[in-house]
Amino acid sequence: MTDEEIRAAVAADVPAVKAVIDAAYHHYIERIGVVPQPMQADHAANVAAGKVFVTGDPVIGLVVLERHDDHLYLDNIAVHPEAHGRGVGRRLLQFVDARARALGLPEVRLYTNAMMWENQKIYPKFGYEVVERRVDGPYDRIHYRKRLDRPD
């Protein structure tokens, strides 16, 4: 597999999925004051459920997706810090759009922690618009959506 290909994760990928997520999110612990939710996810269950798609050999990036009746939920996107600047995130976001379209879904939804301000600069560049800001327990989240009937 090249760094360009994206495939469904398999059980053997679970340690790499955890490693990429931990590397991508660890620096946020101090900033937001809690462990980011993606670091606490049940990665094995997500892989077994067919929700995780990875790229790279070894894995350098991934997305976790959930299909809903009216949208595709982007639960997580993570790129290993050593792979930043290589277009991995862009390719993963393009994959998410293509996946939603293939499933016949009109939009993609996601949220990010309000303290992860880097993400607030990235998502609008890819066609996402802010829907709301909401506090869920210890997490202050900004919710986004991308309507796929509009050009990027």
- Collapsing DSSP to helix, strand or coil, 6 comes out as strand
pLDDT of residue 130: 97
pLDDT of residue 151: 55
pLDDT of residue 117: 87
> What is the pLDDT averaged over residues 18-32?
95
40-51 pLDDT tens trace: 999 999 999 999
> What is the pLDDT averaged over residues 63-77?
97
pLDDT of residue 26: 96
pLDDT of residue 3: 55
Q: What is the mean pLDDT of the chain?
A: 94
Binned at pLDDT 50, 70 and 90, residue 138 comes out as: confident
Helix (H) or strand (E) holding 121: helix 117-125
> What is the pLDDT averaged over residues 90-103?
97
